[in-house]
Structure 1
Amino acid sequence: MPKISNKGLSMPESPIRKLVPFSEAAKSRGINVIHLNIGQPDIKTPQVAIDAIKNNTVSILSYSKTEGSDTFRKKLADYYSKHQISIEADDILVTTGASEGLSFVIGSIADDGDELIIPEPFYANYNSFSTAFGAKVVPIVSNIDNGFALPSIAEFEKAITPKTKGILICNPNNPTGYLYSKEEIQQLAALVKKHDLFFIVDEVYREFVYDGKQHYSVLQEPHIDENAIVIDSVSKRYSMCGARIGFIITRNKVLRSIILKFMQARLSPPSYAQIASEAALETPQSYFDDVISAYVARRNVLIEGLNGIPGVKVINPQGAFYCIVALPVKDSDKFAQWLLEDYSLNNETVMVAPAAGFYATEGLGKNQIRIAYVLEEKVLKRAIHILSEALKQYSLNENTAKRILKKI
């Protein structure tokens, strides 16, 4: 057959989706699979967004502007102003999901072999986006022992080379749930200013912050207008993952003009989804108050349950709706597949995301999984019980195998 590109061959698999065939096979056998692997909330989309699709009077579903509709971008600017962030509609570029936005940003700032410094573990697709555009991820390790706190600025500075184009973080973090403080954002802002780098911050979970904490946006930081880039989305905020509407925000006019060329090549973001997303901006604060209360309750149920399982280690997340869990297993990829292929309890099993795919450093995260607590408390309790019993059985199987090998 014709030769496949090296870039294609090196594209990493998604740790979130690569086990889907095993999940589908389990379902075909009549097993109920509880999905802890993916951040698809079961929270209802705001009715105002659904009604905007149902009741609109569009007669021709035409192209929108490449950068997104004017009214949507103006309302987005109003949304940010309510959060003490002053931006103009022209600072916003609407994309087909945050994923496309981040891809366009990397394509606009990095050439083949250029580097992006990212604290790990990080959202797995950062690896994919970088690979697609020939950029190299330079990881700075954060670890579960100190709650995945931001590594020292000295470690970041040590990693900077002539090839470094920027620093990328997710705040609050997917997959750890870590919330970067104002002081940490300011430290990184000073560093990128000093070395004339871009500072890319994925803020798609900015609404989901717990325990009285406050989210501090890089857009609130003065004197780095040329450096700061925010990636945002309606997917998680309004439980509209299928809308595929995201946005890039930067006050850097030159950068916006470059990104716009990538956007022109894909024509325009989807029109119907922008109608729904614009309407979603009218969602009352009470919606978010209820959603945050639900996530806090779910988080508490999950963390309490996981802490009751022998050998399991987990950190209480401060934001988003994920956590990294260290398990008493050697290889979480094998364990996750075993859960779907060979295990069920009362005709149910759980699907988790092996965490190695959220790292760039080979060998890290091998005994970890990511869990998304986007399901009802009663479902999470069942999932925890299944996971606990599965770990007992898995350990028993491993010990039995060891004894057999010793006899051989």
Structure 2
Amino acid sequence: MRRFEARNAYFDTLCNTPGLMWLGQNTNHFDPHPAVIEAVIDALKRGDYHAYAPPAGFERLRQLIIEDAGVPGASAFVTDGAVEGLYNVCRTICKPDTDFVTTDPSWAWPMHFARQAGATVIELPIYDAAQGYKLTAEQLKAAITPRTRVIYLVDPNNPLGTCHTADEIEAIAAIAREADAYLIHDSTYSQFADHFTPAYNFYPEKTIMTVSFSKWLGLAGMRLGAIIANPDIIEMLAAAPPNNLGSNVLSQRAAIAGLETKAEWFPEIQRRQRRNQAAVAKAAAGVPGLHLPVYPSQANLLIMETVDAGITPEALVAAYQTEGIMIRQGTYHTQRFGHRFVKISLTVPEAWADRFCELLPAMVERARTMPAPAALF
């Protein structure tokens, strides 16, 4: 079977597994605010889906995205998920014989998009406690050359869960400005950080933010995200987007309701996912060889090192799959460091997190004798 067909079949099996506990995709499985459900149902009953949405998104949603991101003066372009926005950005600004600088670990797909556009991807290793598992200004500055066209920063980092301070973001933005490079600030996980600083506010000339509604609002299957940049950049990105007929109207109505009611309900989501983080930290501390490099995480996930426990991440993933729990192997994010850890997503019902913790000692033992799993994705 071709690799793409195998990958699709793998996820089709997961999606059609009754009762599967999704602790691997960083998606939000808590119930949304009732207003979000009502907005979708009302739009469905009205038949809103019979018409295309405005090409850049409903104006009310665009306004709310800018307000929520804290970037006055910017412009928003609503997309079919943040990944479509990143595809459009990378396809538009990446060029042959230029460098796309990012971190290792990071999120892999923008690297694929950059390479497809002819750019060379430079991955700067950050899996190091000595630098706080974050990109340093000195590290970035040393990597800048006349070829540098794009700097891609996932902040908070996926999968590490680290988040840059305001001073660190200001320094990174200054380096990008000096290099006259675009700075893509992927803020997918910003809602879960104690303190998040938009790079746009330091470098509006060439900063492009991407936002997602999959993680904090739980609309992963409804595919909605956005690009934020200055109006001139949005004009450039709007010239030939992957979708010029507007994003899903039901998803947009849900997002409007989610943003309008966010202050009422999201603090409780944050409390619950941090509670789940604490449960996993306690469980990991009770198993020799397991270690959480970053705790608490500033995203809705944790990485757990398995290498000192004498098991591979892939074996632990396979062991948990036998119990109806999905977690993710580190190689999804990084070939260089992926052998060290698994990733666990924690915007999930407490019962799911507690089941993961309850099984952890037994799953580690099972992983010691698990046969090599079939391909994981």
Distance 1:134-1:267 versus aligned 2 partners, 3 A rule: farther
Residue 67 (structure 1) aligns with? 56
Q: What TM-score do you get using the length of structure 1 for normalisation?
A: 0.80
Residue 88 (structure 2) aligns with? 104
Q: Secondary structure at the match of 1:200?
A: strand
Distance 1:153-1:138 versus aligned 2 partners, 3 A rule: same
Aligned positions of 1:79-158 closer than 5 A: 79-80=68-69, 83=70, 85-88=71-74, 91-143=75-127, 145-146=129-130, 148-158=132-142
Distance 1:106-1:35 versus aligned 2 partners, 3 A rule: same
Whole-angstrom distance in 1 between the partners of 2:315 and 2:277: 26
Whole-angstrom distance in 2 between the partners of 1:238 and 1:18: 27
The residue type equivalent to 1:352 in the other structure is I
**For residues 188-228 of structure 1, what are the alpha-carbon distances to aligned partners after superposition, in whole Å with 9 as ceiling and x for unaligned?**
0111011111111111222212xxx321111232xx22121
**For residues 70-112 of structure 1, what are the alpha-carbon distances to aligned partners after superposition, in whole Å with 9 as ceiling and x for unaligned?**
23223333434xx4x3135xx1111111111111111111023
Whole-angstrom distance in 1 between the partners of 2:66 and 2:320: 45
The structural deviation recorded for 1:260 is 0.7
Distance 1:161-1:54 versus aligned 2 partners, 3 A rule: same
The structural deviation recorded for 1:149 is 2.8
**For residues 256-302 of structure 1, what are the alpha-carbon distances to aligned partners after superposition, in whole Å with 9 as ceiling and x for unaligned?**
22211232654322222222222222114130111111111111111
Identity of aligned residues (%): 20
Distance 1:331-1:162 versus aligned 2 partners, 3 A rule: farther
Distance 1:273-1:218 versus aligned 2 partners, 3 A rule: same
Work out whether 1:230 is the aligned partner of 2:209. Answer: yes
Whole-angstrom distance in 2 between the partners of 1:264 and 1:318: 33
Distance 1:358-1:105 versus aligned 2 partners, 3 A rule: same
The structural deviation recorded for 1:386 is 1.9
CA contact (8 A) 1:179 1:215 kept: yes
Whole-angstrom distance in 2 between the partners of 1:162 and 1:267: 38
The structural deviation recorded for 1:173 is 1.8
Mean CA deviation greater in 67-76 or 300-309:
67-76
Whole-angstrom distance in 1 between the partners of 2:239 and 2:198: 27
Q: Secondary structure at the match of 2:230?
A: coil
Superposed CA RMSD in Å reads 2.8
Work out whether 1:393 is the aligned partner of 2:366. Answer: yes
Q: Secondary structure at the match of 2:265?
A: helix
Distance 1:33-1:265 versus aligned 2 partners, 3 A rule: closer
Work out whether 1:172 is the aligned partner of 2:150. Answer: no
Whole-angstrom distance in 1 between the partners of 2:226 and 2:289: 41
Work out whether 1:46 is the aligned partner of 2:33. Answer: yes
The residue type equivalent to 1:185 in the other structure is I
Which residue of 306, 315, 321 maps to 2:300?
Answer: 321
Q: Secondary structure at the match of 1:116?
A: strand
CA contact (8 A) 2:23 2:325 kept: yes
Residue 248 (structure 2) aligns with? 270
Which structure has the larger Rg over C-alpha atoms?
1
CA contact (8 A) 2:82 2:211 kept: yes
Residue 215 (structure 1) aligns with? 196
Residue 289 (structure 1) aligns with? 267
Q: Show structure 1 runs of 4+ deviating over 6 A.
A: none
Which residue of 338, 348, 352 maps to 1:365?
Answer: 338
**For residues 288-332 of structure 1, what are the alpha-carbon distances to aligned partners after superposition, in whole Å with 9 as ceiling and x for unaligned?**
111111111111111111122111111203311111211034642
Aligned positions of 1:325-344 closer than 5 A: 325-327=304-306, 328-329=309-310, 331-337=312-318, 339-340=320-321, 344=322
Aligned positions of 1:189-268 closer than 5 A: 189-209=173-193, 213-221=194-202, 224-251=203-230, 253=232, 255-263=233-241, 266-268=244-246
Mean CA deviation greater in 146-155 or 377-386:
146-155
Whole-angstrom distance in 2 between the partners of 1:376 and 1:197: 42
**For residues 28-70 of structure 1, what are the alpha-carbon distances to aligned partners after superposition, in whole Å with 9 as ceiling and x for unaligned?**
9xxx653321222221122212212222434662122222222
CA contact (8 A) 1:67 1:268 kept: yes
Whole-angstrom distance in 1 between the partners of 2:242 and 2:10: 35
Distance 1:397-1:322 versus aligned 2 partners, 3 A rule: closer
CA contact (8 A) 1:330 1:366 kept: no
Whole-angstrom distance in 1 between the partners of 2:214 and 2:155: 15
Which residue of 77, 81, 99 maps to 2:66?
Answer: 77
Q: What TM-score do you get using the length of structure 2 for normalisation?
A: 0.86
CA contact (8 A) 1:349 1:386 kept: no
The residue type equivalent to 1:87 in the other structure is G
Distance 1:318-1:369 versus aligned 2 partners, 3 A rule: closer
The structural deviation recorded for 1:372 is 0.6
**For residues 354-401 of structure 1, what are the alpha-carbon distances to aligned partners after superposition, in whole Å with 9 as ceiling and x for unaligned?**
111212xx4422131111112233321221232321212333679xxx
Whole-angstrom distance in 2 between the partners of 1:24 and 1:278: 27
The structural deviation recorded for 1:335 is 4.2
Q: Secondary structure at the match of 1:356?
A: helix
Q: Secondary structure at the match of 2:362?
A: helix
Whole-angstrom distance in 2 between the partners of 1:387 and 1:33: 17
Q: Secondary structure at the match of 2:192?
A: coil
Q: Secondary structure at the match of 2:241?
A: helix
Residue 354 (structure 1) aligns with? 329
Whole-angstrom distance in 1 between the partners of 2:315 and 2:248: 39
Which residue of 25, 35, 40 maps to 2:22?
Answer: 35
Distance 1:106-1:112 versus aligned 2 partners, 3 A rule: same
